Amino acid sequence: MKRTLIGAGLAAVLAGGSLAITTSTHAARQQAAALSIQITTPRGPLSVGMNGKIPVNVKVSGIKLDPKAIGKAAKPGRGHYHFYVDCIPGDAYSKADIKTCYAGASATSVASFDLATSAVKIKPGTHVLLVALANNNHVLYKAPASAIVFTVH
């Protein structure tokens, strides 16, 4: 009888511990899900000239876009977003100033991606424009990026 009670007590403690881990994991997922960026327009594939512009409207949640703080010290809940063409380097989530695929930044819900002034020289063909949330110091938040396909002619 004593062994049964100890076994039942241990099982209850383990179940409680497991529940706590599950709850904290769930909370971390909810926090990450609260950070989001979505390109609301344009939708779907589009065509643009070599030196054209793509007007981009984004919906952001979980951070406040702060144009005056771009390049300053990181501050949770504040930031901007980066434009990337065709890729987002994995290091961009842990280091600042990763220039591979980086094409520019904005901190307004309505922006224009300008191919003529992009940090990435874009050649004719089909590409993916990605937007990703960044902290003030340019390190990306761990939140999903949003993307649209465009063809340069």
Domain chopping of the chain, boundaries? 1-34, 36-152
Q: How confident is the model at residue 22 (pLDDT cuts 50, 70, 90)?
A: very low
CB neighbour list of residue 119: distance below 8 Å, 6 or more residues apart: 99, 102, 103, 104
CB neighbour list of residue 87: distance below 8 Å, 6 or more residues apart: 100, 101, 130
pLDDT of 12 higher than 80: no
Residue 44 has a pLDDT of 84
The Cα–Cα gap between 59 and 103 comes to: 19
Q: How confident is the model at residue 31 (pLDDT cuts 50, 70, 90)?
A: low
How does pLDDT run across 53-63, given as a tens digit for each residue? 999 999 999 99
The Cα–Cα gap between 92 and 69 comes to: 18
Q: 125 vs 23, which has greater pLDDT?
A: 125
DSSP string, 26-90: HHHHHHHHHSEEEEEES-S-EEE-TT-EEEEEEEEESSEE-GGGTTS---TTEEEEEEEES---G
Residue 59 has a pLDDT of 98
Residue 97 has a pLDDT of 82
Residue 101 has a pLDDT of 96
Residue 38 has a pLDDT of 98
pLDDT of 14 higher than 70: no
Q: How confident is the model at residue 19 (pLDDT cuts 50, 70, 90)?
A: very low
111: helix, coil or strand? strand
CATH number of 36-152: 2.60.40.10
Q: How confident is the model at residue 3 (pLDDT cuts 50, 70, 90)?
A: very low
Q: What angle do CA 97, 98, 103 make, to 5 degrees?
A: 95
How does pLDDT run across 113-146, given as a tens digit for each residue? 999 999 999 999 999 999 999 999 999 999 999 9
The Cα–Cα gap between 58 and 54 comes to: 12
How does pLDDT run across 66-103, given as a tens digit for each residue? 999 999 999 999 999 999 999 999 999 999 988 899 99
- 150 strand-pairing partners: 46, 127
